[in-house]
Structure formats: structure tokens, C-alpha cells
């Protein structure tokens, strides 16, 4: 009888201890000193300052690291074998999936907090409020009252400190003040504005250019310097000149212009700047342009002066690498660039309703696609390359995409 009582007491104590451990925050994730996050096959991978890569085991997309690298904002996904429900989406995440909400993950304690049941993660502020998109509208979540605050419709958006949000709308940069709840145009394009309808009608855009008018737009919005500054590209083109400038904005809304490129007439060889990355100290930028003849994308790097003056001299621009199709650019440090390149190692087939079927490297015949009621197949997978800016040496860093590095 005495042994039975001891056995029961042991089982009770063991059960209570197991439940206590289950309720504790998840253990600290390795590697320590997180320098980067990216997505591979629908899972979040973390990279330490030593370059060590670790699979977190968390399913998600669209990661964004806080400026100190200790917290991660992401959109959760749930993988599924089903291929037809209209709720499935996202062809580039290695699997068919459904969204489960937006989460803020404390990488030190392992605790993950759901901020919203719907929407997609975009960016987090230094104070850990977050931006998400839902039905093409931008919202602020993570507020003390738990409610989502509507900002505006936006293609790209990023926090500038804790009180200002800069976003791109109708090819112009707008600002939203979180305290005053007001938004206004920050950077108004000189000349006639490049409206969204021109993007769907290139012939009309060309008619505007060759009629002698100046078409201008703002694009490639990104933040740096711990989230205290934002940069974007101002693009102007007419029959007489094609001009690109880097525009930088700080928390006091001081604006500096850095001329990058100016050529006579539309450039016959290179297309517009497609992607932009700024080093954390703001001293270097990298951008990509398409080679119209070779059908490849070229990556250029420029040293940017940090002098406090309104207009600066045009910097020297160096081409560092060339790939078939570039998806993302990010600085690992001031001398190393990460380039995410699209290749054809996997085939993703978009289904009706936004669902996706992954079939590896095998292409389906048109008859098979028609029989399955699918749209045309798309070959796409991503590889991240590490480029040494001093030697221009390029090597594979990892498979993956959606690169996130502390600002």
C-alpha cells in the first residue's frame, strides 16, 4: 500500500512538472545574434552573425526583423495537400498553404504572439507596432487596445521611427503620422505623374515620353539606419533625358537627393531600376537594372556621400554581378551583398483561386494542364548568392527567398 501511494505521488508530481514545462516559453533559438531570416520551402530559417543557418521549424512567409534582431514579424501558414480550395495561395513558398495570421516572435524567449487573424506581415517599428496588408489596404496592428488601425492602400510601406509611416501609392511616396492620424504626399513627382494605368499600357507611356512630356515616379522604398531613415528611387524620363536619383528621408522629414544616373534620352540598353538595397550605415546602395538586349539583370553598387547637403555629386557606379532574373537584394554587411535569384529548379502551377501545385522540375503538357483545369505552368525557385563587393566573387549562400535583415 505504501509503495502504491508513493507511485501515485510520483505520477502526480511528474504530470505537474510536465505541464509546467509545457506552459513555459519555448527555449531560446539558435544560432544566437540573429543577423538574417529567410524562407525556404515554407519554413523560416535563421542565420547567425557567424553565417550559421538554422531551420526554426516554424512555417511562415514574409519575415521582418526588428532593428535589434531580437523579434521577428511574419505571416503564419499551414501546409496542406489539397490543391483546389480557393483559400490556397502563394506559389513561391514550396507548397500549397493557407494563411493562419500575423505573428510577432520573440527570438530570445521563443514566445510567439498573434497580432491578427488575417492579413500579411509587412514591417515592424522599433517600438514593435507592425504594418500588415489586408485586401490591399495597409493596417497598423500590435496596438495596446488590440485593434487594427487603417492607414491607406499602398504597394510598399515601412516605418520611419515609431510615429511616421512612408508608403508608395500611385507611384508617389506618401507619409502617415501615427500620432495625428493624417497622411499626405511626401515626395511629389515633378512633371506629369506616372499613373498606375500606364503600367498596364506601355504603349501609352511611350507616347507620353515621345510627346516630350516628363514622366516621373517614386519606387523601391526601403528603410535603413535602424529604421530611422527611408530611401527610395526617383525616376524621371522624357524624350530628352532619363534620370534617376536616390532620395533619403530621416525622422525629422529632412530630405536629401543623391543623383545616380543621367543619360540623354531613354536608355536603349538598360531598363529602369527594379530593386534597391541600402547598407545599414547608409554609405552604400545596390540596385538592379534589366539588360534589354541580353534579357538579364545587372546589379550595380554605388558609394553614397553622407555629407549634410541638399544636392550631392553623382557617385561612381560599379557593376558587380549579373543574373538571369533577380528577386531581392540585401546587404549582409558593407562589403557583402546578398542576391536572391530566380531559377527553374522547381515548377509551380497556379490553380484557380490562387492555389498552387508543386511538381518539382517536371513540366506538364498543355493537354494535362487543360485536363486538370489549371492555368499555364510557371517555373520558379530561388537561390540566394553571396557576393563579395571587393573581389566580385559569387557563391551560393542558400536556397530561399524573402530575405529579412535588421535595418
Three-state SS sequence of 265-296: CCCCCEEEEEEEEECCCCCEEEEEEEECCCCE
User: Residue 202 belongs to what H/E stretch?
Assistant: helix 202-210
Res 198: pLDDT = 43
Res 162: pLDDT = 86
Task: Answer whether 215's CB lies under 8 Å from 209's CB.
Answer: yes
What is the distance between the alpha carbons of residues 41 and 31, in angstroms, rounded to a whole number? 20
3-state SS, residue 13: helix
What is the distance between the alpha carbons of residues 45 and 284, in angstroms, rounded to a whole number? 26
Cell, residue 382: 530561388
3-state SS, residue 368: helix
- Map grid coordinates 550595380 to a residue: 300
CA 53 to chain centre: 19
Average pLDDT rounded to a whole number, residues 40-59: 88
Q: Where are the alpha helices (DSSP H) in 222-381?
A: 366-371
Q: Give, in order, the Cα–Cα distances in Å from 317 to each of 114, 232, 251, 286, 303.
A: 43, 17, 28, 9, 8
For the entire predicted model, the pTM comes to: 0.77
User: Residue 71 belongs to what H/E stretch?
Assistant: strand 71-79
Task: Answer whether 32's CB lies under 8 Å from 48's CB.
Answer: yes
Q: Which residue has the higher pLDDT, 368 or 270?
A: 270
- The pLDDT-based confidence of 385 (bands split at 50, 70, 90) is very high
**Res 279 pLDDT > 90:** yes
Res 163: pLDDT = 87
- The pLDDT-based confidence of 287 (bands split at 50, 70, 90) is very high
Q: Give, in order, the Cα–Cα distances in Å from 245 to each of 55, 151, 192, 229.
A: 39, 27, 17, 16
Q: What is the pLDDT of residues 104-118, one digit of tens each?
A: 998 888 899 999 988
Angle CA(183)–CA(66)–CA(157) in degrees, nearest 5?
Answer: 30
Cα distance from N-terminal residue to C-terminal residue, the chain: 65
**Res 100 pLDDT > 80:** yes
Res 252: pLDDT = 87
Task: Answer whether 242's CB lies under 8 Å from 234's CB.
Answer: no
Average pLDDT rounded to a whole number, residues 351-373: 49
What is the distance between the alpha carbons of residues 204 and 72, in angstroms, rounded to a whole number? 42
- Mean pLDDT, the chain, integer: 76
Task: Answer whether 29's CB lies under 8 Å from 54's CB.
Answer: yes
Cell, residue 9: 505521488
Beta strand 215-224 with 192-193: parallel, antiparallel or unpaired? parallel
Task: Answer whether 375's CB lies under 8 Å from 350's CB.
Answer: yes
Cell, residue 250: 530621416
Q: What is the pLDDT of residues 133-169, one digit of tens each?
A: 888 889 999 888 888 899 998 878 888 888 899 988 8
Amino acid at each position: 500500500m505504501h509503495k502504491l501511494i508513493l507511485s501515485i505521488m510520483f505520477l502526480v508530481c511528474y504530470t505537474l512538472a510536465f505541464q509546467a514545462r509545457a506552459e513555459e516559453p519555448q527555449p531560446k533559438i539558435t544560432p544566437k545574434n540573429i543577423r538574417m531570416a529567410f524562407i525556404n520551402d515554407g519554413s523560416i530559417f535563421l542565420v547567425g552573425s557567424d553565417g550559421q543557418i538554422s531551420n526554426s521549424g516554424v512555417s511562415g512567409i514574409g519575415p521582418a526583423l526588428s532593428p535589434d534582431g531580437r523579434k521577428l514579424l511574419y505571416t503564419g501558414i499551414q501546409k496542406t495537400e489539397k490543391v483546389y480550395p480557393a483559400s490556397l495561395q502563394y506559389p513561391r513558398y514550396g507548397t500549397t498553404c493557407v494563411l493562419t495570421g500575423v505573428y510577432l516572435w520573440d527570438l530570445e524567449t521563443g514566445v510567439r504572439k498573434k497580432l491578427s487573424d488575417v492579413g500579411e506581415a509587412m514591417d515592424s517599428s522599433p517600438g514593435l507596432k507592425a504594418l500588415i496588408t489586408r485586401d490591399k489596404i495597409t493596417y497598423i496592428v500590435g496596438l495596446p487596445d488590440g485593434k487594427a488601425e487603417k492607414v491607406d492602400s499602398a504597394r510598399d510601406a515601412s516605418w520611419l521611427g515609431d510615429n511616421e509611416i512612408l508608403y508608395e501609392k500611385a507611384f508617389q511616396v506618401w507619409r502617415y503620422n501615427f500620432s495625428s492620424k493624417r497622411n499626405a504626399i511626401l515626395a511629389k513627382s515633378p512633371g506629369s505623374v506616372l499613373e498606375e494605368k500606364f503600367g498596364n499600357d506601355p504603349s501609352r507611356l511611350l507616347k507620353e515620353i515621345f510627346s516630350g512630356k516628363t514622366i516621373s515616379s517614386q519606387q523601391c522604398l526601403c528603410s535603413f539606419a535602424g529604421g530611422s531613415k527611408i530611401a527610395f528611387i526617383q525616376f524621371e524620363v522624357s524624350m530628352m533625358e532619363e534620370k534617376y536619383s536616390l532620395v533619403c528621408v530621416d525622422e525629422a522629414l529632412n530630405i536629401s537627393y543623391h543623383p545616380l544616373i543621367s543619360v540623354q534620352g531613354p536608355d536603349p540598353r538598360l531598363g529602369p531600376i527594379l530593386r534597391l538595397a541600402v547598407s545599414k550605415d547608409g554609405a552604400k546602395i545596390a540596385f538592379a537594372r534589366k539588360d534589354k538586349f541580353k534579357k538579364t539583370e545587372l546589379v550595380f553598387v554605388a558609394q553614397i556621400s553622407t555629407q549634410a547637403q541638399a544636392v550631392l555629386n553623382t557617385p561612381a557606379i560599379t557593376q558587380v554581378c549579373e543574373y538571369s532574373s533577380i528577386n531581392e537584394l540585401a546587404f549582409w554587411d558593407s562589403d557583402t551583398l546578398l542576391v536572391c535569384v530566380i531559377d527553374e529548379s522547381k515548377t509551380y502551377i497556379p490553380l484557380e483561386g490562387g492555389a498552387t501545385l508543386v511538381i518539382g522540375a517536371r513540366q506538364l503538357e498543355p493537354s494535362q494542364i487543360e485536363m486538370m483545369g489549371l492555368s499555364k505552368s510557371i517555373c520558379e525557385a530561388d537561390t540566394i548568392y553571396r557576393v563579395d563587393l571587393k573581389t566580385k566573387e559569387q557563391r551560393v549562400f542558400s536556397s530561399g527567398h524573402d530575405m529579412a535583415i535588421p535595418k
